[in-house]
Structure 1
Amino acid sequence: MDNTTLVDNANVVATPNGVLPLAASVELVCSSRTFVPFLFVFCAIYHFLAPLYTTPKQLSWILTTVASATMTLVSIPFVWDYVSSGGDVKSVRTLSSLTYATTRMFQAYLVSDLIMGSIYYRNQLMLLTGWFHHILYVFIVQICIKRAWTQIFCLCALMELPTFLLAISCLYPRLRSNVAFAVTFFLTRILLHLIWCISYLIPSNRTHTTGGSILPSVMLAGVFPLHAIWFKGCVKGFIKRRKENRALAPQAVTVDAVALAHATIPSSTSDSYISFRSASHNHPARKDYSLSTLHHIGYRLWPARKAIYSFVGLGRQTSS
């Protein structure tokens, strides 16, 4: 006979350590039926996508990309309710089945990222942004599930949008946009974060959405300093890169301008064409020039008109 047997179909379930309320036992079963499959799915996704990437940094962003994209998409109906109602958190629908599955999925992501990170990209799993952040959010999500506040968590999942932009840029650097990341981070994790923190503190909103509890506001306020620290680092990065670009730009222009100015243009038609093509491709920093500098350098490098006409077959033929 199993260790767990029904004692009262209406109220309790017996276990080796006593009895659990029926609601708790159902929640436990539902948890195992959603969390565990999601955990295996995330582990499978990692092993499926990992061969496509080479660096530990890219490997560490695979699961984050998938999870942040999913959370952002799931947040859309809740954000729509919030925006269409003029910023009224009381108008956000509960959608219990969707929000419960989403929160369990997010918990599975947090745990799977720690597991995969411990095995494959340990040097990328930082103490603050990795272990502390993930473990903290496992408990935050669990509180939301226990208190039936999962719709609040899914509304706040819009904050995963900047995370997705950062993650996808790590996997595909050509998609990187520092401006897009900074703007979405400020709008979601700073501005909206503060607005929601205050909204769920208003008594009328608390009564309707949280049963009068201020805990959602407390949790939002507790997480805000971490977001503020990240945004501060983002702004410092902008300032640092701007200073570096200003310091390097004049030197790059001067060196390349001198090199291009001394480039020799062969007299033959074919050599003139090849020299012009190679000069264009061997100096990628030309995009930093001003228009006047580009015009001047281009004028000196461009082959003579007679050479171009001759190359395309329009040159004057000499009499035999």
Structure 2
Amino acid sequence: MIKTLSMMFGEVGIIVNWWDVLVTVVFFSVVLLCWYQAMCSYFTQTSKDGQGPSQKQKAWFLSFFISCLSTPLGVYYLSRALSPEWDASEMLDTDAFSRSVLTLFWVYLIVDMAVGYFEYPGEFGLLSGWVHHIFYALFLGYAYMKGYSISFTHTLIMESSSIFLSGGRLFPRLRSDWAFGCLFLLFRVVYHLYLLLKLYSLPAPRGDLWPPVAGVWVLHLYWFRGWMQGMRRRAQQSKTGEASSSMASPCGDSRDPEGEPVKREKSA
């Protein structure tokens, strides 16, 4: 097994206890599935017709859970990253807590794909759903095996914008297009660039993490551009008296440029 993984990811950075990993994966899977079922029950009980949540609502249950959990943890790691004494090489290290958090996010991606295939296929887009999740899961697996899990925890604050995106879809009072856009710009563009430059400054081979991080940063720029276009379009519609019922998504609309349904944006 180790030999196979070494061929996939290069030199393995840590010794993995696969039994512990399996137990952790099963535990987090149960937690996420219980949360999903609890949200389905809540929306069924609170709906006026008793029909239960729509596919569009179901598509945001897991994302809302992850963003609410990630944001407070992200604040802690953000404060460390912005400290004058912070050593960027810390990102290329690992500890038990960061491995657990990374594993939770990896499990979330897998569960989201599995549940989405059966429960909300119409809301799970090709680019923002399948391609994004598969790439992200492989990237997290790479970071785990190389012993770079702390680098992931420094990106948790990027999920703060998703609270308003996913929460706004589920609870109208949480909707705030401008809060989403400002947090997206601040953390997924500006702060992401800060981390990218820090990674780039590290010597190789320990600095080999920056190319995929740079690719995700470009994707975030693309999504933010779409959000700005969506806000501009909504402003024009409001002037002409046209109502818009959908929240501004990262791609500026409920569909991406290829015409696939846009489910959500993600962190690096």
Report the TM-score, using the length of structure 2 for normalisation.
0.76
Mapped partners of 1:84, 1:198: distance in 2: 16
Structure with more of its chain in helix, by fraction: 1
Q: Spell out the pairing of 1:149-160 with structure 2 (5 A cutoff).
A: 149-160=148-159
State how far apart, in whole Å, the 2-side matches of 1:72 and 1:88 are.
22
Q: Is the 8 A contact 2:67 2:162 kept in 1?
A: yes
Pairing of 1:127-166 with structure 2 (within 5 A) = 127-166=126-165
Instruction: Return closer, same or farther for 1:47/1:161 CA change in 2, 3 Å cut-off.
Output: same
Shift of 1:72: 1.8
Aligned to 1:171: 170
Q: What CA RMSD, in Å, does the superposition of the two structures yield over aligned residues?
A: 2.3
The aligned runs of 1:213-224 (5 Å cut-off) are: 213-224=206-217
Task: Determine the structure 2 residue equivalent to 1:200.
Answer: 199
Provide the rounded CA distance (Å) in 2 between the counterparts of 1:199 and 1:248.
Answer: 47
**Structure 2 partner of 1:84:** 83
1:139 match: secondary structure: helix
Question: How far apart are 1:225 and its partner, in Å?
Answer: 2.3
Moved over 4 A (4+): 90-95
Q: Aligned equivalents of 1:101 and 1:81: distance in 2?
A: 19
Counterpart of 1:233 in structure 2 is: 226
Contact 1:61–1:170 at 8 Å: present in 2 too? yes
Give 1:1-320 correspondences, 5 Å limit.
Answer: 24=15, 26-53=16-43, 54-85=53-84, 88-90=87-89, 96-202=95-201, 206-207=202-203, 212-248=205-241
User: Is 1:78–1:151's contact at 8 Å kept on the other side of the alignment?
Assistant: no
Counterpart AA for 2:222: I
- SS of corresponding position for 2:241: helix
Residue 162 of structure 1 deviates from its aligned partner by 0.8
Structure 1 counterpart of 2:258: none
Pairs aligned (count): 222
Structure 2 unaligned blocks of 5 or more: 1-11, 44-52, 243-268
Distance in structure 2 (CA, Å) of the matches to 1:105 and 1:150:
12
Q: 1:142 to 1:92 in 2, by over 3 A?
A: closer
Secondary structure in 2 aligned to 1:214? coil
Contact 1:82 1:92 survives alignment (8 Å)? no
Counterparts in 2 of 1:92 and 1:108: CA distance versus 1, 3 Å:
closer
The Cα shift of 1:51 comes to 2.4
Q: Contact 1:79–1:155 (CA<8 Å) still a contact in 2?
A: yes
CA distance in 2, matches of 1:81, 1:98: 16
| Deviation of 1:40 (Å) | 1.7
Offset, 1:139: 0.8
Structure 1 Cα separation of the partners of residues 164 and 209 of structure 2: 26
